[in-house]
Structure formats: C-alpha cells, structure tokens
Amino acid sequence: MPQLDPSTFGTQLFWLGICFVALYLVMAFAVLPRIAGTLHARAAQLDDDLAEAEALREKAETALAAYEEALAEARSRALTLAQNMRAEVQAETDRQKAELDAKLAEQAQAAEAAMSKARDEAMLGLSDAAAAIVGDVMDAIGTAKADDAAVAKAVKTVAAE
C-alpha cells in the first residue's frame, strides 16, 4: 500500500499545509466576507421591502376605513332624509284627509238638518191637511160645528200614535 510509505509523508504534509493555508486565506479574506455582505444586504433589502409593504398595507387599510365611514354616513343621511320625507308626506296626507273628513261631516250634517227640516215641514203640512179634511168631513156630515182647534188637537194625537 503506497499510503503506508513514510517517505512520502513529508512532501504530502508540506504541500497540504501550503495548499490548505492558501485556501483558508482566500476563503477567509476574499470570498466569504463578500458573500456574507451580499447575503446581509439582501436580508436588509428584504426587511426594508417588507416594512414598506406593511406601511403601504396600513395606509390602504386606513383609506378603506375612511371610505367605509363615509359610506356609512352617507347611508344614514339618506335614510334620515327618506324618513323625514316620508313623515312629511304622511303628515300632509293626514292633514288633507282630516280636512276632507271635516268637510264631508259638515256637509252630511247640513244635509241631515235639511232633511229633518223638510220632514218636519212635511209632517206639519200633513196634520194641517188632515185637520182641514176632518173639518170638511164633519161639515159635510153636518153633525156638529167643527171646532178647528179641537180637530187639530185630535189629529195631532192620532198622528202621534
């Protein structure tokens, strides 16, 4: 086995030392700091971008809240307006209806009064006529001199029955 030949150990160790130290120096001072810097810069950039996105999101949320508030206010105002309008219309209708009712009631009353007056008049005329007829009949029979006042009274009594 060539691996167990001690005469090659010296050169292998010597060159291993040189090569490994050279690699270590290149990595430690030229390569790794640069990569670390890049990774660090990228992480910082990502954090910045994320923070910015978060800020923008918050702004958008604020805007949305303001919009929703305005919308709710407008809606409630519209609702109030509609309610007021409805109440006004209702009041106007009620007022007109009441007016009409009053007018109609008045007219009905007047008509009723006129009617009862006409009936009273008619009734009065009727008993007069009956009294006259009764007087005429008694005259014609000729039994007794008709007393106008008594006849009228008797007719009235009969009519009342």
CA angle 36, 40, 44 (to 5 degrees): 175
Residue 126 makes CB contacts below 8 A (sequence gap 6+) with: 159
Q: Does 157 engage in binding with another protein (CB under 8 A)?
A: no
Q: Residue 86 has which token pair?
A: 């409805």
What x/- string results for residues 88 through 127 when contact with another protein is judged by CB under 8 A?
----------------------------------------
Least distance (Å) from another protein to the CB of residue 59? 25
- Closest separation in Å from C-beta 27 to another protein: 5
Which CB, 32 or 126, lies closer to another protein? Answer: 32
User: According to the binding rule CB under 8 A, does residue 67 interact with another protein?
Assistant: no
Which one of the spans 8-16, 50-58, 99-107, 133-141 is the region binding another protein (CB under 8 A)? 8-16
63-83: burial string, b at 16+ Cβ within 10 Å, e else: eeeeeeeeeeeeeeeeeeeee
Q: Is 9 in the site for another protein (CB under 8 A)?
A: yes
Exposed / middle / buried, residue 131 (Cβ in 10 Å: 0-12, 13-18, 19+)? buried
Tokens of 141: 């029979």
Alpha-carbon distance of 52 to 49, in angstroms, equals: 5
Site size for another protein (CB under 8 A): 36
**Binding of another protein by 47 (CB under 8 A):** no
> Is 50 among the residues that bind another protein (CB under 8 A)?
no
Q: Using CB under 8 A as the criterion, which residues of the chain lie in contact with another protein when the complex forms? A: 1-5, 7-17, 19-20, 22-24, 26-28, 30-32, 34-39, 41-42, 45
